[in-house]
Structure 1
C-alpha cells in the first residue's frame, strides 16, 4: 500500500492560549515546513491565528460531560476522518486518547508512529478528576493503553530527562527516546530589565493551570504570608471552569476582597508577555508530587519568565534545575513551602541587584538553549535520523538555521 504525508493528532484544543497549543503550533510548523505538508487533527479551539503554512487543520469535536466521554467522541471523529484514506508515512500523537486506537492499528494506518509524551493519564488524571483516584480498574486500563502506545511507537519524544527516565523504567529502550525541551518565542517574549522596587505593592504573577499539582495554592499562601510585611498583589492567569474558578476564589478568601489577589482568564501570548513586564516576580511553585518528580515536565512558564526578564522564584526540583540554576537564573526554594517562597521574594526586594543579574543571565540562557527554533530543529533532525526523511524545503533549512 502506498503512503502519504504526516498526520499530527492531538486531544488538545487548537488554537488556544494554553501551553499545549503553543507547543503544537511550533511542532507542526517545523514538520510541515521541513517535509512538505502536514494534516493536524485537534479539538477545534478559539478563533485566532491561522495554522502555519504547509499545515492543513481539521478541527474535531470532543463532546461529553466528562473526560472519558469527550475522549471517546474525539476517537470517533478521528475514525470518521480516517475512513478511506491512504496509509500515512508518519502519525505523530501526543496522548493515549488519540494514540491508543492508532497504535492498535499501526500497521494499517502508518509506516511510522511517533508518541510525544508530555504527560501520562495514569499519573495525571487524578489531579484533573480526583474522583477517579481510587478507581483501580480505570487505572489498569490507562496503564495498559499507555503500554501499547509505548511499545508500538518507533520514536518517543519528551521535553524532560525526568520523563525519559520514567519511560525507560516502563521498558522503553533509550535509543527510541529523544529529549526536546520546550522553547520560547523570544521575539514575542521580549526582554525588559526588572522593574525598580518602589513604595508600591509588590506584584507577583502566577500563570498556568489552576490546580494543586502546579502549586497555585502555595502561591496564594505565600501572598498571604507576605502581606504581613508589605502590600502585595498576586495576579493569577489561566483557564478555569466555572466550578474550578469558584473553588479558587474560596481558596483566596479575604485576599480577593482586600485587593491582594486578582484572577484573570487565560491570555494570548502577546498579552501574557506584557503582563510579565508589569510584575516584579514570577512564581513557579511546583509541588513535590509524582506528576513533577516521576512523570516530569519542562515548565514553559519558567522559560517564558526568564525570557521576559522578570525575576523568578521556583521550586527546587530536578525538572526546574534542568532549566535554571539557583542564584544564576532564578531563586530555587524548598518545594511545597509558601514560607520559602515569601522569604525569596523578600530577598529580591532587599537586594535589587540580585534580580537584575538573574534577569540578564536568564534571558541569555533562554536565547542560547531554549528557543522554539532550537526545539524545531531538534524535532526535524529526530525525524531525519529515525525515519530517513529528507527535507523538501531548502527555505525551511535556511530559516531554521537562522532562527536557531
Structure 2
C-alpha cells in the first residue's frame, strides 16, 4: 500500500488527492473542496484542486487557465489541467514529466516518451513505466514467460473437452466483490453464481496488487462471497512496470492452475487480462476465451473534455493501438463472448470470425422477478421520505457519459412549469443513488437549476439495498450521452429495472435499444433522443399522466426479463466453452 501511494504521489499528485477525497461522503468532499477553493487569491493551484473536489469544473478550469496562461510555473496546476482533460493548457514551460503526462493523456504515446528523452529522463522511473505500457500495446507482443517459472505439467490438465457440468474454469478479472461494487463486478459475480448452480466449478483471480492498491490494506489473499472464491495476486513487492506486474499475475495464475486444475481460462475486458490469459494458455495448453464487456478506447475517448478533444482522442495513437490490440487478442482467443449484437459487429469488423462469437447479454437474478414492492414500500425500506412524490432516477455510477445532467435539466423543465401537468410540477423528485466523478457537479447543477430540494444524492448504496432503491423509483432513466462507448456497450441497469417491475426511459442509442427489445422486436421501454432534456421531460410527463402506459410497460418488461435470467443465459457459456475446446484441439492437430 505504501509503495502504491508513493507511486501515485509521484506520478499524479492531483489525481491522488481527488481519489482520497472520493472516499469521503459527498457532503464532506464538497465541504473540503470549498475550503480549498476559497484560497484562490493566495494559492490558485490549490483552489483549482478544491474546485475539482467540489465539482465546480468551470471555476477549476478558469483558475488553472489563469495560472498556466500567465506562464507561472506550477506542477500542481499542470497536473490538474491534465486531470480536467485540458492538456492544451500545459505549455512548454511546464516540467518535462508534466508535459509527458499531458502528451500521454491526449493519446500521443511516442510523443510523451520523446519529451522525456529530450529532457535526459529516458532512464527515469516514469519513462520506464510508459515504455512498458507502450510495449504491451505493440502488435504481436506476448508476455515473456519468466526464466525459472515453474510451469504445470500439461499432462496434469484435462486434455479432452468435458461436458458443461463438472467443468472447472479459472476466471481472470480486473476487480471484484466485496471490495468493488460496479456493473463489471456484479456481472462477474452473477455469472459465477449461475455457473456454480449449473455444476461448473469456478475460481476468479484479480489483477496484481488489487485490492491493496485501492486502499484495502488488510485484504486477504482470498475472499469468499456467496460461496464464490476470489483469489488475489498480492506479491510481497509490487513490480515496477505494467508488464512485470502482469507476469506476477501469470505466476499466480499458474499456481492456481496447479491447485485448481481448470479445464479452461476465461478472461474478461480489457487487453491486459487477455494477455495474462493468453500467456497461461500458452504455458499450459489450456483453451482460453475472451469476454469483451466494453471497448476500452471508446470509454477513454468519451472521458475527454470537449467534442474537439474527443475527436482528437479518437484519431490518437492510443485509441488506434488499443483497438488494434484488443482486436488481435480477440482473434487469437479460442472463443469470444460479447454483450450485444452491436459489440459483436464491432469485433467482426476487427477481424474476428462471426462463428467464434457468442452473445450473452446482461441478465438478472431470477429472484428479482418475484420482488413486487410498491414504490411506497421500497421508500420506507431505504428511508426515503418522499411517499407522495413521483420519483425518477437511477442506481448507477455517476460519470459524465451517463448523461444525468440531462435528467436534471429535464426535471427543471418540469418543476418550473414548462412541461407536464401542475400536479407533476409539485410531485417530481430525482434520485441518483451512486457515486463517481460527476457527483459533485450534479449537486452543483441541481443548485444552479433551482431544484436542489428535488434532487436526492444518497451516495453509494449497499449492494443488498440497491434493488430497493430501484423499486423506490416510479421510473428508471438511462439518459446516456451520444458518445461511441454508449452506442456500443450495454449497461445492466435497464434489464434489472424491467425485472423489478419499473418502466424504463432510455436514450435512443443502438446498445441501449437492445437492452429493452425482446426477441420478437417488441420494445419494453420509452426511447428519447440522447442529450435532449426537453424530449426527456416530455417522456416523464407522459408516463406520469398515463397509468395505463406504466402497466403495459411493466408487463412487457417482466416478460423480457424472464427470458434473460442468469440461469437461462449462462447455458450459452457451454457453447462458448465447447467452441474454445474444439478450436484448441484443431490448433493442436492442424
Counterpart for residue 228 of structure 1: 416
Q: How many Å separate the matches in 2 of 1:212 and 1:192?
A: 32
Counterpart mapping for 1:247-266 below 5 A:
247-254=441-448, 258-266=452-460
Counterpart for residue 394 of structure 1: none
Counterpart for residue 11 of structure 1: 174
Determine helix, strand or coil for the equivalent of 1:145.
helix
Deviation of 1:190 after TM superposition, in Å, equals 4.1
1:332 matched to 2:527? The reply is: yes
Q: How many Å separate the matches in 2 of 1:200 and 1:372?
A: 35
* Residues 302, 483 of structure 2: 8 Å contact kept: no
Counterpart for residue 286 of structure 2: 111
TM-score, normalised with respect to structure 1:
0.81
Counterpart for residue 240 of structure 1: 436
Counterpart for residue 398 of structure 1: none
1:202 matched to 2:382? The reply is: no
Counterpart mapping for 1:50-65 below 5 A:
50-53=224-227, 55-60=228-233
Counterpart for residue 287 of structure 1: 481
Determine helix, strand or coil for the equivalent of 1:23.
helix
Counterpart mapping for 1:25-64 below 5 A:
25-32=189-196, 34=198, 36-42=200-206, 43-44=210-211, 50-53=224-227, 55-60=228-233
Q: How many Å separate the matches in 2 of 1:72 and 1:128?
A: 25
Determine helix, strand or coil for the equivalent of 2:461.
coil
1:317 matched to 2:509? The reply is: yes
Deviation of 1:277 after TM superposition, in Å, equals 2.2
Deviation of 1:110 after TM superposition, in Å, equals 4.3
Counterpart mapping for 1:315-394 below 5 A:
315-325=507-517, 329-367=524-562, 369-387=563-581
1:120 matched to 2:298? The reply is: no
Counterpart for residue 155 of structure 1: 335
Q: How many Å separate the matches in 1 of 2:551 and 2:525?
A: 11
Deviation of 1:76 after TM superposition, in Å, equals 5.1
Counterpart mapping for 1:134-173 below 5 A:
134=312, 136-173=316-353
1:90 matched to 2:264? The reply is: yes
Counterpart for residue 216 of structure 1: 404
Moved more, 182-191 or 168-177: 182-191
Deviation of 1:129 after TM superposition, in Å, equals 6.6
Greater share of residues in strand:
1
1:75 matched to 2:239? The reply is: no
Q: How many Å separate the matches in 2 of 1:130 and 1:193?
A: 40
CA offsets, 1:69-113, max 9 Å, x none?
996686254134135655864211112122124435642244212
Counterpart for residue 395 of structure 1: none
Greater share of residues in helix:
2
Q: How many Å separate the matches in 1 of 2:293 and 2:467?
A: 23
Selected match of 2:359 from 179, 184, 188: 179
1:301 matched to 2:493? The reply is: yes
Determine helix, strand or coil for the equivalent of 1:183.
coil
Task: Name stretches of at least 5 consecutive residues in structure 2 with no aligned partner.
Answer: 1-153, 159-167, 377-385, 418-424, 584-590
Determine helix, strand or coil for the equivalent of 2:453.
coil
* Residues 103, 148 of structure 1: 8 Å contact kept: no
Moved more, 279-288 or 254-263: 254-263
Determine helix, strand or coil for the equivalent of 1:11.
coil
CA offsets, 1:286-323, max 9 Å, x none?
22221122xx2233110111111122211222223323
Q: How many Å separate the matches in 2 of 1:37 and 1:206?
A: 34
Deviation of 1:250 after TM superposition, in Å, equals 2.7
Moved more, 31-40 or 175-184: 31-40
Determine helix, strand or coil for the equivalent of 1:178.
strand
TM-score, normalised with respect to structure 2:
0.57
Change (3 A) 1:153 1:180: same
Larger radius of gyration: 2
Q: Tell me: higher relative CO, structure 1 or 2? Use CA pairs within 8 A at least 6 residues apart.
A: 1
Counterpart for residue 23 of structure 1: 187
Q: How many Å separate the matches in 2 of 1:265 and 1:72?
A: 35
Change (3 A) 1:337 1:178: same
Deviation of 1:169 after TM superposition, in Å, equals 0.6
Equivalent pairs counted in the alignment come to 376
* Residues 393, 430 of structure 2: 8 Å contact kept: yes
* Residues 415, 451 of structure 2: 8 Å contact kept: no
